[in-house]
Structure 1
Amino acid sequence: MKFIHAADLHLDSPFLGLTNLPNAVLTTVRQATFTAATKVFDRAIAEHVDFVLLAGDLFDRAEQSVAAQAYLFQQFDRLDQAEIPVVISFGNHDFATDQHQTVAYPNNVTTLGAEVTTKKLTLKSGETVAISGFSYPERWVKRDLAAAFPIRSQVDWQIGMLHGAVATGGDDHYAPFKVSELLTKGYDYWALGHIHHRQLLNDQPPILYSGNTQGRSVNETGAKGAYLVTSQNGNLVPSFFPTSAVLWEKATVSLDKVTDLKSLGLALTTWIETHAAAKLTLTALTVTLSQALDATELTQIVSGDWLALYLRTQQRHLLAANRLLIRLQVQQAPVKLSAPQIDQQYWQQAQAEVFEPANERETFGRLLQDPSLADWFSHPGTDYELRQQAEQALTKLMGEEDNHAT
């Protein structure tokens, strides 16, 4: 058996705030969710899969554009001609889609309802598959619907589809569940959606977030895609394949010889040319300088005016390197706190106690159910970023206290 598990296509994502990009690049970015989704359907046809599972948030919002609806119908029709069934659930972004859908999907498409239901398939191989899941009837589903999933039935393979988040014990909004509860169902695979960072919550049986197929902001960095799942020795084994048309990246570079905006531009161009990307990469760049810029020049960076000028004048170099800057932040070299302002030893001790994963996760709480925030939180550079910002804020605070004292 072979199938594809994808989720969070987010067709029609607006990609706001990218006004400084060249028009051709803007067009590519705004079509990126469609380009990525097409790679999913192309792969399904090329692999002759038995079926496709789409676990929620096919659209970015409940009010879908005509273009997005027509696109999805056409892709489903392609799969219908290839005799590939599709099972879809709708999530918190495209909830109650049946109220807005004006065109009936092809006969190969099964849309799961507001309550947990099961779709049974008999494959060409003769194997039987039961697929259980539901769609969001409204933006928030606070109930734990895991209990409504049936215990494994007498089939060769049983799969659960669940667009939701692991329960935090608080006021959860997105179909909260516990991994332990899913395991009691005896399923062979759980196709999860909602969190945009792919995560394996359990190895066998796989309980797996496929992530979104296309990153939509700089908080959704790294390769995005879907999973081709195959049966091997009685288990279902997922294999990731990338689909992103555009990548997002956060990067930090230290520049020692920059003294003004002219030398900053030259240094940035050199860095970009030596860090060319394989595909279009939108980069939020933080530059650490060893010397302070003039206040007037720093204002031009903070306002975004200098970056807009840089993007226009260096467009040829940027496009050749497949790397465009969407944000530029300049920081002076980190200032080490010293007595009598604050004892460095106590600061380091406080860092170790405060910036501990359990403390950070408790502080953010249910905010981590938001896919973008969950991706940002799990990014390897986030902990460093939080520490740096805290140290800079503390430095500023101590400076203000000294000023008040004088």
Structure 2
Amino acid sequence: MIPFRFLHAADLHLDSRFAGLSHLPQDIRSYLRESTFAALGRLVGVATLQKVDFVVISGDVYDVADASLQGQLRFREALEELGRHGIQVFLIHGNHDPLDGPRLSSAPPAHVTVFGGSEPERVTARRREDGREVAVVSGISYPTSKVTENTALRFSRQPGSSLFHIALLHGNVDGDLQHETYSPCTRKDLIGRGYDYWALGHIHKRSILHEHPPIVYPGNIQGRSIKETGPKGCYTVDVSAEGGVRLDFHELDSVRWQVRELSIDGLNDEAEWTLAVENAVEDIRSETPQMMSVVRFRLTGRGDIHKVLAEKGAADDLLTELQRRETVRAVRKEYAGLVWTEGFSIETGLAVDREHLLLEDSFLGEMLRLAGHSGGNASELDELVATALRPMMENQELRRLLLSVGAEEKQEWLRGAAELGITLLSGLEESGGTPQNAAEEGKAYSAGDAGDGDGQQGREVEE
């Protein structure tokens, strides 16, 4: 086999409208709108610097079916730049940019293959330096925005070919209920098709589902909400003469979303808490000096500061001041190192001797011991949550949502229930314990959410 290198990206969502962020200052909102294009420019830079032989893009090039003229022209510009470096491009369209969406009718450049939506097509990829055939690339686009059949079963390896086989698929593998079940399939389905690499798109969280053959979600190239945290980018994939595969991740984002925990334990007054938050902002600024960061602070722990947060509205006041400072930076066009505090999630409580409560021969003590034990055992946690939520499971929509909840979120529910139990059963009087971005959870989430573009209310991420 001839060694070669390619780049795998997906979910570009060019010209994303960042729905739910209309309240932001215009300078910052404009920078966010430009961030997907900036990530595309970095993608082209990685492809040329890494001297890849070709690029595969696994769906959702655009954020909406009716892609803006600007988005289409910027993408064509990127394709032409890749072409000038002799880099082939193979791409499919997904649920956000299906083939039936209204777009420019001009044909793609000669070095670009856009796969159709009827059956998976096969195209030969060549090595850039000598034009030798190195891979067979197959793909299928979404003809419409809703593809609910298992299109993976249509793929088949080219008979008699010894070339490396790559499949482009935009879909939901193994029924991830946190995402729309478009083109649903299983890992077993993919492994059984005989391909050497599955280039997936649709899920925005980067993950390698299987190693031999590699079944890979690169994630999206730019985070767009508080649910899309951490580095975003693409993979370069090196295929050796023996057919071995090595993946290297490359960060492409210019805006980094994150949730940062900040405990109030040991803080004595409002001034100390304010300073702790300000120091955390500066820590983030120093960690990511070359990009803009959007952060939600999870305030945890117990202490007297809880009263200040819950009753005096200190979180609202500090949030306004932090955002004012960053707006000044934005007006000066100082986006590198800008840290926009998206909100505070207040999960604090009044001071209590938790260790003493754990030793008590009381209902509260027993409850805390049960919570602690179940929290450390995945199967017991699942059983506890399932028992508690059994009445809700009778509702089909609620059952679908509850089944999509992951282990981390269940842990949060258990922790929250334990904290509420301490509050109600220990005689402490509290009025707090709710996430805030001005006052309540709804505002905290609306500050960073993109919506799903499919009329699904309450979903935080577009797939």
1:282 corresponding residue in structure 2: 294
- Decide which moves more: 79-88 or 122-131: 122-131
CA-CA distance at 1:13 after TM superposition: 1.4
Quickly say closer, same or farther: Cα 1:277–1:299, change in 2 above 3 A: same
Q: After TM superposition, list the pairs within 5 Å mapping 1:187-336 onto structure 2.
A: 187-232=195-240, 233-255=242-264, 256-260=266-270, 262-275=271-284, 276-278=286-288, 279-288=291-300, 290-294=303-307, 298=311, 300=313, 304=316, 306-313=318-325, 322-333=338-349, 336=354
Q: Tell me which amino acid in the other structure corresponds to 1:355.
A: L
Conserved? CA contact 2:58–2:170, under 8 Å: yes
Conserved? CA contact 1:168–1:366, under 8 Å: no
CA-atom RMSD, angstroms? 3.6
Conserved? CA contact 2:165–2:197, under 8 Å: yes
**In 1, distance between residues paired with 2:383 and 2:203?**
19
**In 1, distance between residues paired with 2:6 and 2:163?**
14
- Please list every run of 5 or more consecutive structure 2 residues that lacks an aligned counterpart in the other structure: 430-463
The SS at the match of 1:355 is helix
CA-CA distance at 1:131 after TM superposition: 1.1
TM-score (norm: length of structure 1): 0.83
Note if 1:149 corresponds to 2:155.
Answer: yes
CA-CA distance at 1:345 after TM superposition: 2.6
Q: After TM superposition, list the pairs within 5 Å mapping 1:88-103 onto structure 2.
A: 88-97=91-100, 99-103=102-106
Q: After TM superposition, list the pairs within 5 Å mapping 1:2-401 onto structure 2.
A: 2-18=5-21, 23-97=26-100, 99-115=102-118, 116-123=120-127, 124-153=130-159, 154-168=161-175, 173-232=181-240, 233-255=242-264, 256-260=266-270, 262-275=271-284, 276-278=286-288, 279-288=291-300, 290-294=303-307, 298=311, 300=313, 304=316, 306-313=318-325, 322-333=338-349, 336=354, 339-341=362-364, 343=366, 344-351=368-375, 352=377, 355-356=381-382, 377=406, 382=409, 384-395=411-422
1:93-146, Cα deviation, whole Å (9 max, x unpaired) = 112355433443222221111122222234434224211111112222111112
The size of the alignment, in residue pairs, is 392
**In 2, distance between residues paired with 1:19 and 1:179?**
39
- Please list every run of 5 or more consecutive structure 1 residues that lacks an aligned counterpart in the other structure: none
CA-CA distance at 1:298 after TM superposition: 3.8
**In 2, distance between residues paired with 1:138 and 1:194?**
15
The SS at the match of 1:12 is coil
Quickly say closer, same or farther: Cα 1:163–1:356, change in 2 above 3 A: same
**In 2, distance between residues paired with 1:161 and 1:129?**
13
Quickly say closer, same or farther: Cα 1:58–1:136, change in 2 above 3 A: same
CA-CA distance at 1:26 after TM superposition: 3.2
**In 1, distance between residues paired with 2:250 and 2:383?**
30
- Decide which moves more: 274-283 or 248-257: 274-283
Q: Tell me which amino acid in the other structure corresponds to 1:148.
A: R
**In 1, distance between residues paired with 2:326 and 2:209?**
44
Quickly say closer, same or farther: Cα 1:270–1:181, change in 2 above 3 A: closer
1:234-259, Cα deviation, whole Å (9 max, x unpaired) = 22322111111111111111233353
- Decide which moves more: 166-175 or 238-247: 166-175
CA-CA distance at 1:36 after TM superposition: 0.8
Query: Kindly, what percent of the aligned residue pairs are identical?
Result: 28
Conserved? CA contact 1:202–1:208, under 8 Å: yes
- Decide which moves more: 113-122 or 385-394: 385-394
**In 1, distance between residues paired with 2:383 and 2:45?**
40
Quickly say closer, same or farther: Cα 1:385–1:258, change in 2 above 3 A: farther
Conserved? CA contact 1:283–1:327, under 8 Å: yes
Conserved? CA contact 2:171–2:184, under 8 Å: yes
CA-CA distance at 1:61 after TM superposition: 1.1
**In 1, distance between residues paired with 2:77 and 2:402?**
35
The SS at the match of 2:125 is strand
Quickly say closer, same or farther: Cα 1:191–1:245, change in 2 above 3 A: same
